[in-house]
Chains A and B, each alone.
Chain A
Protein backbone atom coordinates (compact mmCIF):
# COMPACT_ATOMS: atom_id res chain seq x y z
CA UNK A 1 0.00 0.00 0.00
CA UNK A 2 1.28 3.45 -0.76
CA UNK A 3 0.78 6.62 1.09
CA UNK A 4 1.17 10.23 0.14
CA UNK A 5 4.68 10.83 1.39
CA UNK A 6 4.45 14.56 1.46
CA UNK A 7 1.77 16.25 3.45
CA UNK A 8 -0.10 18.81 1.42
CA UNK A 9 1.91 21.96 1.31
CA UNK A 10 -0.61 24.61 2.07
CA UNK A 11 0.32 27.51 4.19
CA UNK A 12 -2.15 27.86 6.96
CA UNK A 13 -2.57 30.55 9.48
CA UNK A 14 -2.01 29.05 12.90
CA UNK A 15 -5.24 29.17 14.85
CA UNK A 16 -5.29 31.06 18.08
CA UNK A 17 -6.74 29.34 21.08
CA UNK A 18 -6.80 32.14 23.53
CA UNK A 19 -8.09 35.63 23.70
CA UNK A 20 -4.66 37.03 24.41
CA UNK A 21 -1.85 37.58 21.99
CA UNK A 22 -0.61 34.73 19.91
CA UNK A 23 1.82 32.71 21.91
CA UNK A 24 4.64 32.42 19.44
CA UNK A 25 7.26 34.96 20.34
CA UNK A 26 8.95 35.11 16.98
CA UNK A 27 5.91 34.83 14.78
CA UNK A 28 7.84 31.92 13.38
CA UNK A 29 6.71 30.25 10.20
CA UNK A 30 4.04 27.65 10.62
CA UNK A 31 2.55 25.27 8.22
CA UNK A 32 5.83 24.31 6.68
CA UNK A 33 6.05 20.66 5.72
CA UNK A 34 8.05 19.61 8.66
CA UNK A 35 6.40 21.63 11.35
CA UNK A 36 4.32 19.24 13.40
CA UNK A 37 0.70 20.12 14.12
CA UNK A 38 1.06 18.79 17.62
CA UNK A 39 4.32 18.29 19.42
CA UNK A 40 4.81 16.51 22.71
CA UNK A 41 7.90 17.26 24.76
CA UNK A 42 8.60 15.12 27.81
CA UNK A 43 4.92 14.76 28.55
CA UNK A 44 3.72 12.92 31.65
CA UNK A 45 0.14 12.43 32.73
CA UNK A 46 -0.92 11.95 36.32
CA UNK A 47 -4.10 10.70 37.89
CA UNK A 48 -3.84 12.18 41.35
CA UNK A 49 -0.54 10.94 42.74
CA UNK A 50 -0.23 8.21 40.16
CA UNK A 51 1.96 8.94 37.20
CA UNK A 52 0.23 6.87 34.53
CA UNK A 53 2.58 7.63 31.69
CA UNK A 54 5.80 9.58 31.34
CA UNK A 55 8.62 10.57 29.06
CA UNK A 56 6.52 11.01 25.94
CA UNK A 57 8.16 13.12 23.24
CA UNK A 58 6.88 12.86 19.71
CA UNK A 59 5.56 15.03 16.90
CA UNK A 60 2.25 14.59 15.09
CA UNK A 61 2.72 15.46 11.45
CA UNK A 62 0.12 17.21 9.38
CA UNK A 63 -2.12 15.18 7.08
CA UNK A 64 -0.64 11.98 8.29
CA UNK A 65 -2.01 9.16 10.34
CA UNK A 66 -0.06 8.61 13.51
CA UNK A 67 -0.75 5.34 15.31
CA UNK A 68 -0.21 4.59 18.98
CA UNK A 69 0.19 0.93 19.86
CA UNK A 70 1.18 -0.99 22.93
CA UNK A 71 -0.13 -3.38 25.55
CA UNK A 72 -3.21 -2.65 27.60
CA UNK A 73 -2.72 -0.10 30.36
CA UNK A 74 0.42 1.49 28.91
CA UNK A 75 -1.23 4.88 28.66
CA UNK A 76 -2.22 5.20 24.99
CA UNK A 77 -5.68 6.55 25.74
CA UNK A 78 -4.25 8.73 28.47
CA UNK A 79 -1.79 10.38 26.09
CA UNK A 80 -4.41 10.68 23.35
CA UNK A 81 -6.84 12.42 25.68
CA UNK A 82 -4.15 14.84 26.73
CA UNK A 83 -4.00 16.13 23.14
CA UNK A 84 -7.42 17.79 23.27
CA UNK A 85 -7.67 18.28 27.02
CA UNK A 86 -10.28 15.59 27.50
CA UNK A 87 -8.35 14.64 30.63
CA UNK A 88 -9.62 17.91 32.13
CA UNK A 89 -12.90 16.11 32.65
CA UNK A 90 -11.34 13.60 35.00
CA UNK A 91 -10.93 14.94 38.50
CA UNK A 92 -7.29 14.87 39.60
CA UNK A 93 -5.86 14.34 36.11
CA UNK A 94 -2.87 16.53 35.35
CA UNK A 95 -0.37 16.94 32.54
CA UNK A 96 3.27 17.96 32.87
CA UNK A 97 5.74 18.63 30.10
CA UNK A 98 4.62 20.50 27.02
CA UNK A 99 1.91 19.60 24.55
CA UNK A 100 2.05 22.23 21.86
CA UNK A 101 -0.33 22.84 19.02
CA UNK A 102 1.15 25.01 16.29
CA UNK A 103 3.66 26.12 18.84
CA UNK A 104 1.11 27.09 21.49
CA UNK A 105 1.24 25.33 24.81
CA UNK A 106 -2.15 23.62 25.10
CA UNK A 107 -1.96 23.77 28.87
CA UNK A 108 -1.07 27.45 29.14
CA UNK A 109 -3.35 29.30 31.49
CA UNK A 110 -5.12 31.41 28.93
CA UNK A 111 -5.95 28.52 26.60
CA UNK A 112 -9.63 27.76 26.26
CA UNK A 113 -10.18 23.97 26.26
CA UNK A 114 -13.36 24.43 24.25
CA UNK A 115 -11.42 26.14 21.47
CA UNK A 116 -8.91 23.30 21.65
CA UNK A 117 -11.63 20.69 21.18
CA UNK A 118 -13.12 22.68 18.32
CA UNK A 119 -9.87 22.17 16.44
CA UNK A 120 -8.95 18.75 17.78
CA UNK A 121 -11.94 16.42 17.65
CA UNK A 122 -12.26 12.92 19.02
CA UNK A 123 -13.87 9.62 18.12
CA UNK A 124 -14.25 7.07 20.89
CA UNK A 125 -13.79 3.37 21.29
CA UNK A 126 -17.45 2.59 21.71
CA UNK A 127 -19.72 4.41 19.26
CA UNK A 128 -21.51 7.07 21.31
CA UNK A 129 -24.09 8.78 19.11
CA UNK A 130 -26.51 11.02 20.97
CA UNK A 131 -29.97 9.54 21.46
CA UNK A 132 -31.26 11.93 18.83
CA UNK A 133 -31.94 11.66 15.11
CA UNK A 134 -29.10 11.09 12.65
CA UNK A 135 -29.58 14.66 11.42
CA UNK A 136 -29.47 16.13 14.93
CA UNK A 137 -26.33 14.18 15.71
CA UNK A 138 -24.54 15.88 12.85
CA UNK A 139 -25.96 19.33 13.54
CA UNK A 140 -25.18 19.17 17.25
CA UNK A 141 -21.60 20.33 16.84
CA UNK A 142 -22.66 22.93 14.28
CA UNK A 143 -25.16 24.36 16.72
CA UNK A 144 -22.95 24.56 19.77
CA UNK A 145 -20.23 26.12 17.65
CA UNK A 146 -22.65 28.52 15.95
CA UNK A 147 -21.79 27.11 12.54
CA UNK A 148 -25.35 26.30 11.53
CA UNK A 149 -25.95 29.51 9.70
CA UNK A 150 -27.90 28.99 6.53
CA UNK A 151 -27.13 25.87 4.54
CA UNK A 152 -27.24 23.38 7.39
CA UNK A 153 -28.72 20.65 5.19
CA UNK A 154 -25.74 20.92 2.87
CA UNK A 155 -23.31 20.76 5.75
CA UNK A 156 -25.04 17.65 7.06
CA UNK A 157 -24.86 15.99 3.66
CA UNK A 158 -21.21 16.95 3.28
CA UNK A 159 -20.30 15.55 6.68
CA UNK A 160 -22.19 12.30 6.08
CA UNK A 161 -20.61 11.92 2.65
CA UNK A 162 -17.25 12.65 4.22
CA UNK A 163 -17.84 9.79 6.61
CA UNK A 164 -18.99 7.47 3.80
CA UNK A 165 -22.40 7.16 5.38
CA UNK A 166 -24.62 9.35 3.21
CA UNK A 167 -25.91 6.67 0.85
CA UNK A 168 -26.92 4.43 3.72
CA UNK A 169 -28.84 7.05 5.70
CA UNK A 170 -29.99 9.73 3.26
CA UNK A 171 -33.57 8.47 3.38
CA UNK A 172 -33.81 8.26 7.14
CA UNK A 173 -32.06 11.33 8.47
CA UNK A 174 -34.83 11.96 10.97
CA UNK A 175 -34.77 8.51 12.51
CA UNK A 176 -32.91 7.71 15.69
CA UNK A 177 -29.17 7.27 15.41
CA UNK A 178 -29.44 4.35 17.81
CA UNK A 179 -31.25 2.31 15.15
CA UNK A 180 -28.03 2.20 13.11
CA UNK A 181 -25.58 -0.69 13.24
CA UNK A 182 -22.44 -0.30 15.33
CA UNK A 183 -20.30 0.41 12.28
CA UNK A 184 -22.77 2.96 10.98
CA UNK A 185 -22.94 4.57 14.41
CA UNK A 186 -19.18 4.90 14.45
CA UNK A 187 -19.18 6.51 11.00
CA UNK A 188 -21.91 8.84 12.25
CA UNK A 189 -19.63 9.79 15.13
CA UNK A 190 -16.93 10.51 12.58
CA UNK A 191 -19.43 12.54 10.53
CA UNK A 192 -20.43 14.70 13.47
CA UNK A 193 -16.77 15.23 14.26
CA UNK A 194 -15.82 16.36 10.77
CA UNK A 195 -18.95 18.50 10.54
CA UNK A 196 -17.29 21.10 12.75
CA UNK A 197 -14.17 21.02 10.53
CA UNK A 198 -11.48 20.27 13.08
CA UNK A 199 -7.87 20.18 12.02
CA UNK A 200 -7.00 17.05 13.96
CA UNK A 201 -9.10 13.95 14.66
CA UNK A 202 -8.15 11.71 17.57
CA UNK A 203 -9.48 8.17 17.43
CA UNK A 204 -9.31 5.82 20.40
CA UNK A 205 -9.61 2.26 19.12
CA UNK A 206 -12.42 3.29 16.77
CA UNK A 207 -12.86 -0.21 15.37
CA UNK A 208 -12.57 -2.34 18.46
CA UNK A 209 -16.33 -2.76 18.77
CA UNK A 210 -16.81 -3.50 15.07
CA UNK A 211 -16.73 -6.53 12.81
CA UNK A 212 -14.06 -6.89 10.08
CA UNK A 213 -16.26 -5.47 7.31
CA UNK A 214 -17.20 -2.38 9.29
CA UNK A 215 -13.56 -2.08 10.33
CA UNK A 216 -12.47 -2.18 6.69
CA UNK A 217 -14.88 0.63 5.86
CA UNK A 218 -13.53 2.81 8.62
CA UNK A 219 -9.95 2.11 7.60
CA UNK A 220 -10.73 3.10 4.01
CA UNK A 221 -12.37 6.20 5.36
CA UNK A 222 -9.29 7.08 7.39
CA UNK A 223 -7.19 7.02 4.22
CA UNK A 224 -9.58 9.47 2.61
CA UNK A 225 -9.73 11.67 5.67
CA UNK A 226 -5.96 11.89 5.88
CA UNK A 227 -6.02 14.09 2.79
CA UNK A 228 -7.76 16.84 4.74
CA UNK A 229 -7.17 16.00 8.38
CA UNK A 230 -4.39 15.06 10.71
CA UNK A 231 -5.29 11.82 12.45
CA UNK A 232 -3.98 10.16 15.58
CA UNK A 233 -5.29 6.66 16.19
CA UNK A 234 -4.90 4.33 19.14
CA UNK A 235 -5.26 0.72 18.16
CA UNK A 236 -4.74 -2.69 19.63
CA UNK A 237 -4.71 -4.21 16.23
CA UNK A 238 -1.19 -4.20 14.88
CA UNK A 239 -2.21 -5.08 11.35
CA UNK A 240 -4.45 -2.06 11.49
CA UNK A 241 -1.60 0.19 12.58
CA UNK A 242 0.52 -1.25 9.79
CA UNK A 243 -2.25 -0.85 7.22
CA UNK A 244 -3.37 2.67 7.96
CA UNK A 245 -0.67 4.67 9.64
CA UNK A 246 2.31 6.61 8.38
CA UNK A 247 4.04 6.78 11.68
CA UNK A 248 3.76 4.64 14.76
CA UNK A 249 4.48 5.21 18.42
CA UNK A 250 5.04 2.12 20.54
CA UNK A 251 4.24 2.43 24.24
CA UNK A 252 4.80 -0.03 27.02
CA UNK A 253 4.33 -0.16 30.76
CA UNK A 254 7.16 -0.95 33.12
CA UNK A 255 7.63 -1.23 36.84
CA UNK A 256 9.81 1.40 38.47
CA UNK A 257 12.13 0.73 41.43
CA UNK A 258 9.24 1.10 43.85
CA UNK A 259 7.20 -1.47 41.94
CA UNK A 260 4.76 1.03 40.43
CA UNK A 261 3.73 0.62 36.80
CA UNK A 262 4.22 3.58 34.50
CA UNK A 263 3.54 3.76 30.82
CA UNK A 264 6.17 5.20 28.53
CA UNK A 265 6.95 5.79 24.91
CA UNK A 266 9.52 3.27 23.74
CA UNK A 267 9.91 4.04 20.09
CA UNK A 268 8.50 6.39 17.51
CA UNK A 269 9.23 6.09 13.83
CA UNK A 270 7.84 5.61 10.35
CA UNK A 271 5.40 2.74 10.45
CA UNK A 272 7.47 0.77 7.94
CA UNK A 273 10.50 0.97 10.18
CA UNK A 274 8.63 0.03 13.34
CA UNK A 275 7.19 -3.09 11.74
CA UNK A 276 10.19 -4.28 9.76
CA UNK A 277 13.20 -3.03 11.59
CA UNK A 278 12.43 -1.76 15.08
CA UNK A 279 15.28 -0.21 16.99
CA UNK A 280 14.18 -1.48 20.38
CA UNK A 281 14.03 -5.09 21.46
CA UNK A 282 10.74 -4.49 23.31
CA UNK A 283 9.09 -3.19 20.16
CA UNK A 284 10.26 -6.19 18.26
CA UNK A 285 8.96 -8.57 20.90
CA UNK A 286 5.61 -6.86 20.91
CA UNK A 287 5.05 -6.76 17.17
CA UNK A 288 6.16 -10.32 16.73
CA UNK A 289 3.76 -11.39 19.45
CA UNK A 290 6.39 -12.43 21.92
CA UNK A 291 5.21 -9.92 24.41
CA UNK A 292 3.87 -10.93 27.83
Chain B
Protein backbone atom coordinates (compact mmCIF):
# COMPACT_ATOMS: atom_id res chain seq x y z
CA UNK B 1 0.00 0.00 0.00
CA UNK B 2 1.23 3.46 -0.76
CA UNK B 3 0.35 5.54 2.20
CA UNK B 4 1.93 8.95 1.98
CA UNK B 5 0.60 10.50 5.14
CA UNK B 6 3.08 12.64 6.98
CA UNK B 7 3.06 13.65 10.54
CA UNK B 8 3.10 17.35 11.18
CA UNK B 9 4.13 18.26 14.68
CA UNK B 10 1.16 18.67 16.93
CA UNK B 11 -1.49 17.85 14.35
CA UNK B 12 -2.19 14.18 13.84
CA UNK B 13 -2.05 13.56 10.08
CA UNK B 14 -5.30 12.41 8.48
CA UNK B 15 -4.95 8.99 6.86
CA UNK B 16 -4.47 9.58 3.15
CA UNK B 17 -6.45 7.66 0.56
CA UNK B 18 -4.99 9.53 -2.41
CA UNK B 19 -3.38 7.71 -5.28
CA UNK B 20 0.29 7.08 -4.71
CA UNK B 21 2.70 5.55 -7.14
CA UNK B 22 0.89 4.14 -10.20
CA UNK B 23 0.68 0.34 -10.03
CA UNK B 24 2.64 -0.47 -13.17
CA UNK B 25 2.66 -4.22 -12.66
CA UNK B 26 -1.12 -4.24 -12.67
CA UNK B 27 -1.20 -2.45 -16.04
CA UNK B 28 1.34 -4.80 -17.55
CA UNK B 29 -0.58 -7.86 -16.44
CA UNK B 30 -3.80 -6.46 -17.84
CA UNK B 31 -2.08 -5.84 -21.18
CA UNK B 32 -0.77 -9.41 -21.26
CA UNK B 33 -4.19 -10.81 -20.51
CA UNK B 34 -5.79 -8.72 -23.25
CA UNK B 35 -3.09 -9.95 -25.62
CA UNK B 36 -3.82 -13.57 -24.71
CA UNK B 37 -7.52 -13.03 -25.33
CA UNK B 38 -6.79 -11.39 -28.70
CA UNK B 39 -4.55 -14.27 -29.77
CA UNK B 40 -7.21 -16.87 -29.05
CA UNK B 41 -10.01 -14.93 -30.71
CA UNK B 42 -7.85 -14.03 -33.70
CA UNK B 43 -6.81 -17.63 -34.19
CA UNK B 44 -10.42 -18.75 -34.26
CA UNK B 45 -11.35 -16.03 -36.72
CA UNK B 46 -8.33 -16.91 -38.85
CA UNK B 47 -9.30 -20.57 -38.97
CA UNK B 48 -12.88 -19.76 -39.91
CA UNK B 49 -11.69 -17.49 -42.71
CA UNK B 50 -9.18 -19.99 -44.05
CA UNK B 51 -11.93 -22.60 -44.07
CA UNK B 52 -14.52 -20.30 -45.61
CA UNK B 53 -12.52 -18.86 -48.49
CA UNK B 54 -11.60 -22.18 -50.21
CA UNK B 55 -15.07 -23.49 -49.41
CA UNK B 56 -16.70 -20.62 -51.28
CA UNK B 57 -14.30 -21.24 -54.14
CA UNK B 58 -15.26 -24.93 -54.14
CA UNK B 59 -18.93 -24.08 -54.43
CA UNK B 60 -18.08 -21.89 -57.39
CA UNK B 61 -17.46 -25.12 -59.31
CA UNK B 62 -19.60 -27.72 -57.59
CA UNK B 63 -23.18 -26.77 -56.84
CA UNK B 64 -24.41 -26.91 -53.26
CA UNK B 65 -27.28 -29.06 -54.53
CA UNK B 66 -24.92 -31.70 -55.87
CA UNK B 67 -22.86 -31.55 -52.69
CA UNK B 68 -25.80 -32.34 -50.42
CA UNK B 69 -27.88 -34.68 -52.63
CA UNK B 70 -25.41 -36.71 -54.67
CA UNK B 71 -24.76 -40.13 -53.12
CA UNK B 72 -21.24 -40.70 -54.36
CA UNK B 73 -18.05 -39.07 -53.14
CA UNK B 74 -15.32 -39.83 -55.65
CA UNK B 75 -13.35 -36.61 -56.21
CA UNK B 76 -10.09 -38.49 -56.54
CA UNK B 77 -11.37 -40.98 -59.09
CA UNK B 78 -11.55 -40.68 -62.85
CA UNK B 79 -15.30 -40.30 -62.71
CA UNK B 80 -15.82 -37.54 -60.21
CA UNK B 81 -18.80 -37.13 -57.93
CA UNK B 82 -19.08 -34.61 -55.14
CA UNK B 83 -21.83 -35.86 -52.84
CA UNK B 84 -20.86 -35.45 -49.19
CA UNK B 85 -23.62 -37.77 -47.93
CA UNK B 86 -21.50 -40.95 -47.83
CA UNK B 87 -18.95 -39.21 -45.59
CA UNK B 88 -21.67 -37.62 -43.47
CA UNK B 89 -23.55 -40.88 -42.96
CA UNK B 90 -20.38 -42.73 -42.00
CA UNK B 91 -19.47 -39.98 -39.55
CA UNK B 92 -22.90 -40.09 -37.94
CA UNK B 93 -22.94 -43.88 -37.70
CA UNK B 94 -19.51 -44.11 -36.09
CA UNK B 95 -20.31 -41.24 -33.74
CA UNK B 96 -23.65 -42.77 -32.78
CA UNK B 97 -21.98 -46.08 -31.94
CA UNK B 98 -19.34 -44.27 -29.91
CA UNK B 99 -21.91 -42.24 -28.00
CA UNK B 100 -24.07 -45.29 -27.33
CA UNK B 101 -21.11 -46.78 -25.54
CA UNK B 102 -19.68 -43.67 -23.97
CA UNK B 103 -22.81 -42.23 -22.36
CA UNK B 104 -23.85 -45.22 -20.26
CA UNK B 105 -20.33 -46.31 -19.43
CA UNK B 106 -19.11 -42.76 -18.82
CA UNK B 107 -22.07 -41.70 -16.68
CA UNK B 108 -22.04 -45.03 -14.88
CA UNK B 109 -18.39 -44.55 -13.96
CA UNK B 110 -19.08 -40.98 -12.93
CA UNK B 111 -21.95 -41.99 -10.66
CA UNK B 112 -19.87 -44.79 -9.20
CA UNK B 113 -16.90 -42.53 -8.54
CA UNK B 114 -18.82 -39.62 -7.11
CA UNK B 115 -21.56 -41.42 -5.14
CA UNK B 116 -20.47 -44.95 -4.40
CA UNK B 117 -16.69 -45.22 -4.29
CA UNK B 118 -14.92 -44.55 -1.02
CA UNK B 119 -12.34 -41.78 -0.86
CA UNK B 120 -9.46 -44.18 -1.30
CA UNK B 121 -10.96 -45.96 -4.28
CA UNK B 122 -11.68 -42.63 -5.91
CA UNK B 123 -8.20 -41.31 -5.25
CA UNK B 124 -6.89 -44.41 -6.97
CA UNK B 125 -9.29 -44.58 -9.94
CA UNK B 126 -9.61 -40.94 -10.92
CA UNK B 127 -5.96 -40.52 -11.99
CA UNK B 128 -6.16 -43.76 -13.96
CA UNK B 129 -9.16 -42.38 -15.79
CA UNK B 130 -7.27 -39.21 -16.57
CA UNK B 131 -4.31 -41.19 -17.89
CA UNK B 132 -6.66 -43.20 -20.11
CA UNK B 133 -7.89 -39.92 -21.57
CA UNK B 134 -4.32 -39.22 -22.65
CA UNK B 135 -3.70 -42.39 -24.66
CA UNK B 136 -2.89 -41.39 -28.25
CA UNK B 137 -5.76 -42.14 -30.61
CA UNK B 138 -3.49 -44.04 -32.97
CA UNK B 139 -3.21 -46.65 -30.24
CA UNK B 140 -6.97 -46.95 -30.07
CA UNK B 141 -7.03 -47.27 -33.87
CA UNK B 142 -4.72 -50.26 -33.95
CA UNK B 143 -6.34 -51.68 -30.83
CA UNK B 144 -9.62 -51.65 -32.76
CA UNK B 145 -8.12 -53.12 -35.91
CA UNK B 146 -5.88 -55.78 -34.39
CA UNK B 147 -7.59 -56.70 -31.10
CA UNK B 148 -11.26 -55.79 -31.14
CA UNK B 149 -12.07 -56.66 -34.73
CA UNK B 150 -10.71 -60.25 -34.74
CA UNK B 151 -12.63 -60.87 -31.55
CA UNK B 152 -15.74 -59.30 -33.04
CA UNK B 153 -15.45 -61.53 -36.11
CA UNK B 154 -15.06 -64.56 -33.86
CA UNK B 155 -18.19 -63.95 -31.89
CA UNK B 156 -20.20 -62.56 -34.80
CA UNK B 157 -23.35 -64.69 -35.01
CA UNK B 158 -24.15 -64.50 -38.71
CA UNK B 159 -22.29 -65.76 -41.79
CA UNK B 160 -21.44 -62.31 -43.14
CA UNK B 161 -18.60 -61.35 -40.85
CA UNK B 162 -17.57 -57.72 -40.27
CA UNK B 163 -15.14 -56.46 -42.86
CA UNK B 164 -11.44 -56.06 -42.05
CA UNK B 165 -12.09 -52.37 -41.55
CA UNK B 166 -15.57 -51.43 -40.39
CA UNK B 167 -17.56 -48.66 -38.73
CA UNK B 168 -18.70 -50.80 -35.80
CA UNK B 169 -15.23 -51.52 -34.53
CA UNK B 170 -14.16 -47.93 -35.09
CA UNK B 171 -17.22 -46.76 -33.16
CA UNK B 172 -16.49 -49.12 -30.29
CA UNK B 173 -12.88 -47.95 -30.06
CA UNK B 174 -13.93 -44.35 -30.29
CA UNK B 175 -16.55 -44.90 -27.58
CA UNK B 176 -13.90 -46.35 -25.30
CA UNK B 177 -11.66 -43.45 -26.14
CA UNK B 178 -14.19 -40.83 -25.01
CA UNK B 179 -15.41 -42.70 -21.90
CA UNK B 180 -12.66 -41.21 -19.70
CA UNK B 181 -13.45 -37.69 -20.91
CA UNK B 182 -17.16 -38.07 -20.25
CA UNK B 183 -16.63 -39.87 -16.94
CA UNK B 184 -14.05 -37.47 -15.61
CA UNK B 185 -15.94 -34.29 -16.46
CA UNK B 186 -19.29 -35.67 -15.37
CA UNK B 187 -17.73 -36.77 -12.10
CA UNK B 188 -16.38 -33.25 -11.55
CA UNK B 189 -19.85 -31.84 -12.11
CA UNK B 190 -21.45 -34.32 -9.73
CA UNK B 191 -18.85 -33.87 -7.03
CA UNK B 192 -19.50 -30.14 -7.16
CA UNK B 193 -23.12 -30.66 -6.09
CA UNK B 194 -23.29 -29.49 -2.47
CA UNK B 195 -23.24 -32.16 0.18
CA UNK B 196 -26.23 -30.56 1.86
CA UNK B 197 -28.49 -31.57 -1.04
CA UNK B 198 -27.44 -35.19 -0.70
CA UNK B 199 -28.00 -35.10 3.04
CA UNK B 200 -31.47 -33.65 2.51
CA UNK B 201 -32.28 -36.49 0.15
CA UNK B 202 -30.87 -39.18 2.41
CA UNK B 203 -32.83 -37.76 5.33
CA UNK B 204 -35.98 -38.35 3.27
CA UNK B 205 -35.18 -42.06 3.14
CA UNK B 206 -33.65 -42.14 -0.33
CA UNK B 207 -31.47 -44.98 -1.45
CA UNK B 208 -28.07 -44.20 -2.90
CA UNK B 209 -29.38 -44.75 -6.41
CA UNK B 210 -32.26 -42.34 -5.81
CA UNK B 211 -29.93 -39.70 -4.45
CA UNK B 212 -27.67 -40.14 -7.47
CA UNK B 213 -30.31 -40.12 -10.17
CA UNK B 214 -32.98 -37.83 -8.72
CA UNK B 215 -30.91 -35.22 -6.92
CA UNK B 216 -27.26 -35.24 -7.93
CA UNK B 217 -27.67 -35.96 -11.63
CA UNK B 218 -30.27 -33.24 -12.31
CA UNK B 219 -28.34 -30.72 -10.21
CA UNK B 220 -25.17 -31.50 -12.18
CA UNK B 221 -26.95 -31.61 -15.51
CA UNK B 222 -25.27 -28.66 -17.18
CA UNK B 223 -21.83 -30.06 -16.42
CA UNK B 224 -22.88 -33.52 -17.52
CA UNK B 225 -24.29 -32.27 -20.82
CA UNK B 226 -21.07 -30.34 -21.34
CA UNK B 227 -19.14 -33.55 -20.72
CA UNK B 228 -21.23 -35.47 -23.23
CA UNK B 229 -21.05 -32.71 -25.82
CA UNK B 230 -17.29 -32.55 -25.47
CA UNK B 231 -17.23 -36.32 -25.91
CA UNK B 232 -19.36 -36.12 -29.06
CA UNK B 233 -17.26 -33.28 -30.43
CA UNK B 234 -14.15 -35.35 -29.92
CA UNK B 235 -15.84 -38.26 -31.67
CA UNK B 236 -16.93 -36.11 -34.61
CA UNK B 237 -13.46 -34.68 -35.00
CA UNK B 238 -11.57 -37.92 -34.31
CA UNK B 239 -9.44 -38.89 -37.29
CA UNK B 240 -6.87 -41.52 -36.48
CA UNK B 241 -9.18 -44.27 -35.23
CA UNK B 242 -11.57 -44.01 -38.15
CA UNK B 243 -8.80 -43.82 -40.74
CA UNK B 244 -7.20 -46.96 -39.36
CA UNK B 245 -10.23 -48.96 -38.33
CA UNK B 246 -13.04 -47.88 -40.64
CA UNK B 247 -11.08 -47.34 -43.83
CA UNK B 248 -11.39 -44.90 -46.69
CA UNK B 249 -14.18 -46.28 -48.83
CA UNK B 250 -16.34 -43.46 -50.18
CA UNK B 251 -18.25 -44.86 -53.10
CA UNK B 252 -21.87 -44.77 -52.06
CA UNK B 253 -23.79 -44.40 -48.86
CA UNK B 254 -22.98 -47.31 -46.57
CA UNK B 255 -25.30 -47.88 -43.65
CA UNK B 256 -24.35 -51.35 -42.49
CA UNK B 257 -22.02 -50.76 -39.53
CA UNK B 258 -20.04 -53.94 -40.18
CA UNK B 259 -18.87 -52.48 -43.50
CA UNK B 260 -16.01 -50.06 -43.85
CA UNK B 261 -16.62 -46.45 -44.89
CA UNK B 262 -14.73 -43.18 -44.75
CA UNK B 263 -15.89 -40.50 -42.33
CA UNK B 264 -15.41 -36.82 -43.09
CA UNK B 265 -12.25 -36.69 -41.01
CA UNK B 266 -10.84 -39.86 -42.55
CA UNK B 267 -11.36 -38.41 -46.03
CA UNK B 268 -9.66 -35.16 -45.05
CA UNK B 269 -6.69 -37.02 -43.59
CA UNK B 270 -6.49 -39.38 -46.55
CA UNK B 271 -6.78 -36.70 -49.21
CA UNK B 272 -4.72 -34.08 -47.48
CA UNK B 273 -1.44 -35.92 -47.55
CA UNK B 274 0.38 -33.45 -49.65
CA UNK B 275 0.18 -34.74 -53.22
CA UNK B 276 -2.83 -32.65 -54.22
CA UNK B 277 -1.95 -29.48 -56.14
CA UNK B 278 -2.97 -26.40 -54.18
CA UNK B 279 -6.10 -24.69 -55.59
CA UNK B 280 -7.08 -27.73 -57.60
CA UNK B 281 -10.70 -28.71 -57.10
CA UNK B 282 -9.52 -31.89 -55.37
CA UNK B 283 -7.66 -29.75 -52.91
CA UNK B 284 -10.71 -27.59 -52.28
CA UNK B 285 -12.83 -30.64 -51.40
CA UNK B 286 -10.88 -30.89 -48.16
CA UNK B 287 -12.10 -27.49 -47.11
CA UNK B 288 -15.68 -28.11 -48.17
CA UNK B 289 -15.76 -31.25 -46.05
CA UNK B 290 -13.96 -29.46 -43.23
CA UNK B 291 -16.55 -26.68 -43.24
CA UNK B 292 -19.35 -29.23 -43.10
CA UNK B 293 -17.76 -30.84 -40.06
CA UNK B 294 -17.31 -27.44 -38.47
CA UNK B 295 -20.97 -26.58 -38.98
CA UNK B 296 -22.00 -29.85 -37.38
CA UNK B 297 -19.90 -29.26 -34.30
CA UNK B 298 -21.22 -25.73 -34.06
CA UNK B 299 -24.83 -26.91 -34.31
CA UNK B 300 -24.18 -29.53 -31.64
CA UNK B 301 -22.83 -26.92 -29.27
CA UNK B 302 -25.74 -24.56 -29.89
CA UNK B 303 -28.18 -27.39 -29.30
CA UNK B 304 -26.55 -28.39 -26.05
CA UNK B 305 -26.58 -24.84 -24.75
CA UNK B 306 -30.31 -24.64 -25.39
CA UNK B 307 -30.87 -28.00 -23.77
CA UNK B 308 -28.96 -27.03 -20.67
CA UNK B 309 -30.87 -23.76 -20.36
CA UNK B 310 -34.10 -25.67 -20.49
CA UNK B 311 -33.39 -28.52 -18.11
CA UNK B 312 -30.77 -27.52 -15.67
CA UNK B 313 -31.45 -27.16 -11.97
CA UNK B 314 -29.44 -24.27 -10.64
CA UNK B 315 -28.27 -24.75 -7.11
CA UNK B 316 -27.37 -21.46 -5.42
Interface of A toward B, CB cutoff 8 Å: 84, 86, 89, 91, 114-115, 117-118, 121-122, 124, 126, 128-132, 140-141, 143-145, 176, 178, 189, 192-193, 196
Chain B residues packing against A (C-beta within 8 Å): 118-119, 194, 196-207, 210, 214-215, 218-219, 313-316
- Nearest CB in chain B to that of A143: its residue: B214
A sample of 27 inter-chain contacts (CB < 8 A) reads: A86-B203, A89-B198, A89-B199, A114-B207, A118-B205, A121-B203, A122-B199, A124-B196, A126-B196, A128-B196, A128-B200, A130-B215, A131-B219, A131-B315, A140-B204, A140-B215, A141-B204, A144-B204, A144-B206, A145-B204, A178-B314, A178-B315, A178-B316, A189-B200, A193-B203, A196-B204, A196-B205
| A-B CB pair tally, cutoff 8 Å | 73
Residues of chain B contacted by A122 (CB below 8 angstroms)? 199, 203
B204-A117 in contact (CB<8A): yes
Residues of B near A117 (CB, < 8 A) are 202-205
Which B-chain residue is minimally distant from A131 (CB atoms)?
Answer: B313
Is B197's CB under 8 angstroms from A128's CB?
Answer: yes
* A140 / chain B contacts, CB cutoff of 8 Å: 201, 204, 214-215
Query: Which residues from A are CB-within-8-Å of B202?
Result: 86, 89, 117
Most buried by B among A131, A145, A192: A131
Across the two chains, which residue of chain B brings its CB closest to A132? B313
Roughly how many angstroms separate A114 CA and B211 CA in the complex, as a whole number?
12
Residues in B whose Cβ lies below 8 Å from that of A132: 218, 313
Distance of A212 Cα from B264 Cα, bound (Å): 66
For B215, give the chain A residue with the smallest CB separation. A130
- Determine the distance from Cα of A193 to Cα of B210 in the docked complex, in whole angstroms: 16
In the complex, A91 Cα to B196 Cα: how many Å? 16
B119–A121 touching, CB < 8 Å: no
A144 touches B203 (CB 8 A): no
- Contact residue among A89, A115, A121 (Cβ-Cβ distance under 8 Å from B204): A121
Given contacts A91-B119, A124-B196, A144-B210, contact A130 B201 (CB under 8 A): yes
8 nearest A-B pairs in the assembled complex, by CB-CB distance: A131-B313, A141-B204, A118-B205, A122-B203, A128-B196, A131-B315, A117-B205, A128-B200
B contact residues around A86 at 8 Å (CB): 199, 202-203
Complex Cα–Cα for A114 and B203 (A): 8
Minimal Cβ-Cβ distance residue in A for B209: A144
> Given the known A-B contacts A115-B205, A118-B205, A121-B204, are A130 and B199 also in contact in the complex, defined by CB atoms under 8 Å?
no
The docked-state distance in angstroms from the alpha carbon of A132 to that of B219 is 9
Nearest A residue (CB) for B120: A91
Residue of A nearest to B316 (CB): A178
Question: A159 to B118, alpha carbons, bound, how many Å?
Answer: 36
B115 to chain A, nearest CB (A): 11
Cα A4 to Cα B228 with chains together (Å) = 58
